Structure 1
């Protein structure tokens, strides 16, 4: 998932057999802490799930669903093929959130259905409701009939007016980290992988897609079937439905988007096949069949989501000059790091995102040159060093402590992405690419379609890399990267040669008021402009901002990477002329990375808070639930803080 980095370029009813609706005591977070304490040293234990994979695991999921735009819900049934690990186990425990469970049945070898007693615990704010199914005979298959709530945290429903074409409604999912449980009862943990198939019915004028084998030639008829033969974790389960058409890029890659967007997207992403080839050259064959992309409406809360075979992408990266397309490189890289080899729990998220950011840089370098990759690394590292200044020491480690009561969404930061990638660059520098590249490919090959922990990676490192040069890395250095806060003092920082020109131009303007000539800036890319703005300091004089705006037209820019830096600077500096455009931007775009910095500056003053609340009221119907929660929390805290003053 590409969420916070610069891109080149997140009422239960008992079944028959249970006579009354159960109202058990709430499943409190304290129970999760106790469960985590059972195996304090086992990093494979997932504190964010109620599931018990040491007893039983889902091996296959068969969905039969209907998408109801009017009711804003998905409903139907799910059939689970189970692998019982513990012969003494008498129950199946699943994760749910706001789901109505209609009935649960065992599926016999002859297809006969037998009701099973179940209990749905009261809702926990973070983890949802624990679903416990009594299974004394350990059935090989179980069927659950259910439907979602209109407020499901993992689904967004858009009215036609909120789409590009404004003719048909749109729906899409966002399952990472623990939102899959809001639209399918699951063992919602990355430690469990399953294959799946699905039959989905919908209104006939919308196209339905899933993170599976979407047929580019499929008819739009309201009746769709899918199959995912490779085992995936629950957070990679995805669905979307809307006015979607397909345009090919290569034999195995293409773009799905609304008709008005598809040509622009295909043009912007035309290097995708080259990216796949570059990644295969480094890390082995692409193992997922097709690699297609779905361009979502601007409300999508992240830059991209690496759903296998169908990356979900924000339209904010389509700016006409390919300056933000390393988003594709990042999500593609997940086909090896994350999708193929997955963190076993969210406290080891760096195994997904750090590895992916490193691989993204290698793809960028292979296609666009070492200098561009270095520019991105420098920007990412600079942003990380600024972020960790206000971060707790524990959150600065790559190997996070058990999350216990924390929502894994809240535990994700630039540390996983950038410090993780920086660590792998450190290993590359110490051992050389001729040694490190085969090692990394071996990690992907030897752990393909498995979930892994930091401990497993360290063990693999000690066995397969460190002996290649026993003096290259010390135990203290490894500990500094994995377990200690901050960035180690011995880390080599990225240094872009081209940024020296940008720095010189900025310093000269700040001193003399004379802007660099067009001859100097004509070849600047998005990275150069963001670096130019990032070095301006906390504030400028309004007349300085006006001068910049007159020359470079930052206010109203279509480039979100520039907007997220320009508008906060303008707001802090009292440049009121930028406020209307900033308001329009946060009302139109729902990508958290781009809009939260703008909200954060607005809420610091009473006038700005009032402006932010008005903008949020307009934008909220089109925001994804994840974005809505983030902004609402920020506004609430700001209101409370100002009330105390």
Structure 2
């Protein structure tokens, strides 16, 4: 095998970074962040103070955080002015986008300490300072996957969750929205307003954001203890409030079908996120141009709301297991649409998803859990969303509706406000279903591709039907049940047979009760496959 030196060095650096984070994951656990951010209208430079409460799981004399440093050629990036520990300045090294803080003593295993950091700079990313579509200046956090480090000193990895406070000082003509609940909003005079939002549940840095703009805020109602609201730009306030009118419904649906909502409120926010929607905990950001006033974003609202359970409260421990977030949100959105709009809408959504999975497989043959990816934005693909959703659909059909519902509820209850890997979900599924699911998880999540089927059938003079199924995809074979629907000639009642397919070629003979005019594969949309005609 040949590998060019540049690629080798690239992979080696990312592998080393992953290894370094694993050591950090085993050594420290951030408990709470307090971020004080000063914004202004004359420059994009922010001034920040961070107080970070850290529990040490192993003894150490230093702490390493992620923070993008100052780039002299662009003048963007953060410059650390001072670090304080035990009430006095301590030495630090800010190099290669890592902030290493050297303590003047050893921090013991189990000890919790507070570190203060004073810094400033122009965010190159992460905090998007720009103009909205109406020309108004806005500030929006957009941290996924690991872009919090552009403006916040953090352990910028989904495995480390913490509670937080945002203390924002901004010109008085802005309103500020963030995670958690509003603790204080105070006019300080001289045109400055102070806003404090507090998130009491631990969340990953990918979800820690502020939105600062000349918002119109509207109350959408309440579900139990959670207030639901929308925050929209004043020029399209009517359209925004109309589009977000569905904001309460998915919160109610998922609370009843999965478990109690984890956060203090739910805000739907028109924003400058680069994504169609970003599921920040209790504070969902939507692309500004999604707002039309035509109420066409209900499925998007449902998807981002489903993330509050899976992705936010139950968080993938590393990015390669993103399907535990995006696959769940995609499939739960289909279940939501089935509940409100019926089975045909549900099946139509699955069929559309299957087409996207097939198209992606033709471009790139990769598993859902693709540990080779180092540019995490590449994980935003049909495998993480649609194929993972299909995996859950097939799993539900395999273990049954009741066991599937029980498994989702137990999985959420066990790992609420925590982090997970795929095996955590698999263990609960196996326990509840009393099935060995090693092969099922492996072939659909860890193995690339999907079944590509070629088939033919004929009916003999004695009425016997002979059906031949061939898996024509290269290399790997899949094992799956395939439903076959026999359609009689005279609009009589059809028959459905299930064929277990595991070999390259599988045949079945059926003697139907009457003459058959046609046969359908997978009539009830239960299998992810491509038909080779």
Report Cα offsets for 1:126-158 as digits up to 9, x if no partner.
Answer: xxx1221112332710001112324x2112222
Q: By how many angstroms is 1:289 displaced?
A: 2.2
> Partners in 2 of 1:491 and 1:303 — Cα distance?
34
Q: What SS class does the counterpart of residue 300 from structure 2 fall into?
A: helix
Q: By how many angstroms is 1:262 displaced?
A: 2.2
**1:202–1:216 Cα change, 3 Å:** closer
- 1:302 and 2:287 correspond: no
Report Cα offsets for 1:273-305 as digits up to 9, x if no partner.
Answer: 2221111121011121211101125xx321101
**1:445–1:171 Cα change, 3 Å:** same
**Superposition map of 1:307-326 within 5 A:** 307-326=280-299
Report Cα offsets for 1:216-258 as digits up to 9, x if no partner.
Answer: 9987962111100000001001111111110111132121011
Q: What SS class does the counterpart of residue 261 from structure 1 fall into?
A: helix
Q: 1:255, 1:262 within 8 Å by CA — same for their partners in 2? A: no
> Partners in 1 of 2:26 and 2:128 — Cα distance?
33
Report Cα offsets for 1:282-332 as digits up to 9, x if no partner.
Answer: 1011121211101125xx321101111110012333334323321000000
**1:355–1:178 Cα change, 3 Å:** same
Which residue number corresponds to residue 15 of structure 2? 33
- 1:400 and 2:400 correspond: no
**1:367–1:492 Cα change, 3 Å:** farther
Q: Aligned to 2:44, which of 45, 61, 72? A: 72
Q: What SS class does the counterpart of residue 140 from structure 1 fall into?
A: strand
Q: Aligned to 1:85, which of 41, 57, 60? A: 57
Report Cα offsets for 1:491-532 as digits up to 9, x if no partner.
Answer: 6899xxxxxxxxxxxxxxxxxxxxxxxxxxxxxxxxxxxxxx
Which residue number corresponds to residue 229 of structure 2? 254
Q: By how many angstroms is 1:402 displaced?
A: 5.0
Which residue number corresponds to residue 327 of structure 1? 300
**1:28–1:482 Cα change, 3 Å:** closer
> Partners in 2 of 1:216 and 1:273 — Cα distance?
25
- 1:180 and 2:148 correspond: yes
Q: What SS class does the counterpart of residue 322 from structure 1 fall into?
A: coil
Q: By how many angstroms is 1:413 displaced?
A: 1.4
Q: 1:426, 1:491 within 8 Å by CA — same for their partners in 2? A: no
Structure 1 stretch displaced more, 307-316 or 444-453: 307-316
Q: Identify unmatched segments of 5+ residues in structure 1.
A: 1-26, 39-46, 123-128, 495-645
**Superposition map of 1:28-427 within 5 A:** 30-34=12-16, 36=18, 49=21, 52-87=24-59, 89-97=60-68, 98-106=77-85, 108=86, 113-122=87-96, 129-135=97-103, 136-138=105-107, 140-150=113-123, 152-159=124-131, 162-164=132-134, 166=135, 168-214=136-182, 222-251=193-222, 252-297=227-272, 300-391=273-364, 393=365, 396-401=366-371, 403=373, 406-427=374-395
Q: By how many angstroms is 1:397 displaced?
A: 1.3
**1:198–1:296 Cα change, 3 Å:** closer
**Superposition map of 1:461-610 within 5 A:** 461-465=429-433, 467=434, 470=435, 475-488=438-451
> Partners in 2 of 1:382 and 1:324 — Cα distance?
21
- Higher strand proportion: 2
Which residue number corresponds to residue 500 of structure 2? none
> Partners in 1 of 2:249 and 2:185 — Cα distance?
23
TM-score for the superposition, normalised by structure 1: 0.63
Report Cα offsets for 1:349-394 as digits up to 9, x if no partner.
Answer: 1111111111111122222222223222222221221022111x3x
**1:96–1:29 Cα change, 3 Å:** farther
> Partners in 2 of 1:130 and 1:440 — Cα distance?
38
Q: By how many angstroms is 1:74 displaced?
A: 2.2
> Partners in 2 of 1:378 and 1:70 — Cα distance?
51
Q: 2:185, 2:196 within 8 Å by CA — same for their partners in 1? A: no
Q: What SS class does the counterpart of residue 202 from structure 1 fall into?
A: strand
Q: By how many angstroms is 1:175 displaced?
A: 0.2
Q: What SS class does the counterpart of residue 99 from structure 1 fall into?
A: strand
> Partners in 2 of 1:260 and 1:102 — Cα distance?
40
Q: What SS class does the counterpart of residue 39 from structure 2 fall into?
A: strand
- Higher helix proportion: 1
> Partners in 2 of 1:29 and 1:68 — Cα distance?
40
> Partners in 2 of 1:229 and 1:31 — Cα distance?
36
Give the number of the structure with larger relative contact order, counting CA–CA contacts within 8 Å between residues 6 or more apart.
Answer: 1
Which residue number corresponds to residue 504 of structure 2? none
**1:32–1:321 Cα change, 3 Å:** closer
Q: By how many angstroms is 1:420 displaced?
A: 1.0
Q: 1:50, 1:95 within 8 Å by CA — same for their partners in 2? A: no
Q: By how many angstroms is 1:35 displaced?
A: 5.6
Q: What SS class does the counterpart of residue 257 from structure 2 fall into?
A: helix
> Partners in 2 of 1:303 and 1:374 — Cα distance?
23
TM-score for the superposition, normalised by structure 2: 0.75
> Partners in 2 of 1:68 and 1:28 — Cα distance?
38
Q: What SS class does the counterpart of residue 24 from structure 2 fall into?
A: coil
> Partners in 1 of 2:386 and 2:431 — Cα distance?
25
Which residue number corresponds to residue 408 of structure 2? 440
Structure 1 runs of 4+ aligned residues shifted over 6 Å read 215-220, 491-494
